[in-house]
Structure 1
Amino acid sequence: MTDERNAQTRGPFARWWQQPDQFDWLTGYLRARGLERPTKLLMALISAALMLMAVATLTMHNVNWFVRATFSIAAVVIGLGYATLWLRGWPTQRQSLVMSWLGGSIIAVGCLMQPLPMLALMGCAATAILGGYAAFFHNTKAIAVIVAVGTAASVVCAIRVAETDGWVAATAGLWLVIELTLAVPLAIQAVVRTLGADVVRSDQDPLTGVLNRRAFYERASTLLTSPGDDLHLIVVMIDLDKFKKLNDAYGHLAGDQALTAVGWALRETSTSSAIVGRFGGEEFIVIDAMPAEEAEHLPTQLCMSIAALPQPVTASVGAAIVRWDSGAAMDDLIRAADAAMYAAKRAGGNQTRISRPARVDR
């Protein structure tokens, strides 16, 4: 948060440079909308294309055979390795970032080894593909690394072109390559950032800042398809006590302020992996995956954080906790948490109840 404030005070360039990595939210977005499989196939194809650099080394008779062999092996290992990684699953943020940098470096080195100067210079434009990848999944700093590598290789290749074809051809070729190297990733970044802003606006409840009902189900469905080791799923239903009386006594503005404060309290109390949503009216929901002991304490922590707000509001909190590998279905967990919440409300409110359903089949 401090970095964001500092960036805002330094102007638009600083805000652009400090943009956060978008790998996590974009991954969730693609999965939630059924685009995971085509994305994996496309990324595997792009990764596998790096192996073509090994084929290109066959024409580089001016390069020592050991260097050619080492480079070819590296290109095949990196290209095939990342293609396999994409086909078998989904890389982590770090793996994805390293792939973009390694891919850009492989292309740059391959171009520097190319004996034909103009072909080498034009080949540097291929780094724009990896720059576009970094722009799509990552941030400005990731783009800058690839652009720097591609530009450096382009300048070296342009000098070689100037020695054989003159400075006019070298300058024109260099300008074209640098233009592509910069324009492709920056254009993709602008589109994805605009998409991200629209996604955030369409997914968020405008009053409380948490997810709306539709977006909550999309994110939660993604969570349920990614089981973890020795963790428990917890679904927490929160319903504000006597909220109508608060509206009647203090007005709807006070009620809106209370809802906003509750949304803030739920986000602050939950972990960074939690999915927090508003189901409508004064009802909220939280889902998370955590160790059993932490899951046991979370409902009480949420209840206490709401009661501690300056607004005159408390909540009845119900939770359903199951092992992550229990085959739990979202609707069944929500029903169990909802029943526990109503039990807390019947007991007088401002308290919690926990349900531990047996195995729930999907």
Structure 2
Amino acid sequence: MTFSWTREIFNIAEMAPPVGPSLEEGINLFAPAARSIIAAAVQGAIDNGTPYDLELPIMTAKGQRLWVQTQGFAEVRGGKTVRLFGTFQDITARRLAADELAHRTALFEAIFKSIPDAIVSTNVKREVVAINPAFTSILGYGIDDLAGRQTAHFYESQDECDRQGQLRFNLTARERSLPYQVNYKKKDGTIFPGETLGTIIEASDGIVLGYLGVIRDVTERLQGQAKLQLAANVFDHAREAITVTDAKGTIVDVNHAFTRITGYGREEVIGQNPRMLKSGRQDPAFYAAMWGALTNQGHWSGEIWNRRKNGEVYAELLTISAVRDGQGHTQQYVALFSDISAIKAHQSQL
């Protein structure tokens, strides 16, 4: 059987037209991994009249790898193939674009599935199209619970959903890029605060296709902030003086009561050592015992005489505690003390 190619095929293959290409030359034009596929397809067309339509890679005479769509049709007479017609089209650009799209899709899927925050995708009517695994973990809903349903289903209320929808619509592009906090409702009815970042999904021509929302459960963060605020309030308003040092004993913070009792302002003591308050009434053995208790037991409590900024010696009831990490290493020391000078004076009068 003889074969003939059009000039366009020779151009695609970057070959000079021979007198007449052979079947073997045609098969060898394809990349090694594709040769058995095209050979079987051609043989099937010759033997059985079976047409084929394949997308396969070829290697040009100059070593360039291209993708082609090749089709074959048999002309059968008396049960035998007498002629084979084929088409040969360079589809490299389309194939590379499809591969790039597939890569981007796979990348998006990987990110979509691995992000620990809840992600929900909707159409322009705010009807749920897709959710990621973290959405199910955080809110408890599966895609079967939400597909085609309005996002109001997992908002705290319909009114809040409507309000947020209207608010997001009227924001500037910059404002829409900022996170905002909304209360959401889990499948079990639990309400939780969610830090949310919403974005519009647009086509290349600017047509809005839908919306994407990323939700982070900030319950623990808000609880932590509340605890920190409470601790700050206690620190600032406590009647007892509080001193915080690092592991080496350097003062890092004091409260208002410290200033009231000692006369030293916060700026005067930050970076200093509490020994600046020493009155000289305690001997080295006293401090050795104190540090021994802190090292071995993590705390010490007792009475001590210290000196105010104005030089006055006063009595303290002092408690020191070591703040340790999970491995037992001391990170800070916290000292709490009160002025018991009046009590000591009264005791001396009795």
Higher share of residues assigned helix: 1
TM bracket (short chain):
under 0.3
**TM-score, normalised relative to structure 1:** 0.19
**TM-score, normalised relative to structure 2:** 0.19
Q: Which has the higher contact order (CA 8 A, sep 6+)?
A: 1
- Compare CA radii of gyration and give the structure with the larger one: 2
